[in-house]
Amino acid sequence: MVYYIEKPVHGNLRTLPRMKNSVRKAGLRQKAQLMSASEIERTLVRLAYEIVEKNEGVDALGLVGIRRRGVPLAERIGKIIARIENAKVPVGTLDITFYRDDLSTLGPKPVVQQKEIGFEIGDRNIVLVDDVLFTGRTTRAALDALFEHGRPRRVQLCVLIDRGHREIPVEATYVGRHVQTTMNEVIEVKLTEIDEAEKVLLMEK
């Protein structure tokens, strides 16, 4: 069975929680800066326009950010869309916790925290937003959780970075940038709301 995030189903992953930054940095070295603050902003503007175009406007549109960094990304995209269309788009949150870091291809599955998304998703076109699409497990867990809150008309996935290495056949509908990586490399997305910095880094173990 194939899961495509343009149709209702998919998966993804992101960088480790901030509380592990001090541990993580000790074993990683910066290899390259992939995006600056201005490049992130321009990319989000492009993604916002793509979302509006593909959904033929904002009627019945809703954005759901996957914690942690998917939430501020969804909020920013929502504000951009509001400026484009002069209409407010609801933005909600899905809280998914990992018992260990997201860099491993092994280990426990993502755990969804049972909290309300923040708006009714029934019969809406829902765009799940995350920072990095990796193995696909995060998005799969988010999809399972999403359908416990209602039955959307359609589910799409929007990610800032797609780094490949899928363990589940999941694809994003909207991608800021495709980055070819090895399993020894890590994508770090830093956002002002969480990290007090704004950039995307390619790190190496």
User: At what angle are helices 37-54 and 70-85 packed, to 10 degrees?
Assistant: 60
- Cα separation of 71 and 76, whole Å? 9
Q: Where are the domains of the chain?
A: 28-204
Placement of tokens 């902003």 in the chain: 41
Which pTM was predicted? 0.81
Query: Which of 3.40.50.2020, 3.40.190.10, 3.40.30.10, 3.20.20.70 is the CATH number of 28-204?
Result: 3.40.50.2020
User: What is the full per-residue pLDDT of the chain (205 aa) written as tens digits?
Assistant: 444 454 333 444 343 344 444 444 558 999 999 999 999 999 999 999 999 999 999 999 999 999 889 999 999 999 999 999 999 999 999 987 643 334 444 345 556 555 678 899 999 999 999 999 999 998 898 898 888 889 999 999 999 999 999 999 999 999 999 999 999 999 999 999 999 999 999 999 9
Placement of tokens 């788009």 in the chain: 89
Q: Which amino acid is at 118?
A: G
109 and 96 Cβ atoms separated by less than 8 Å: no
- Cα separation of 169 and 174, whole Å? 16
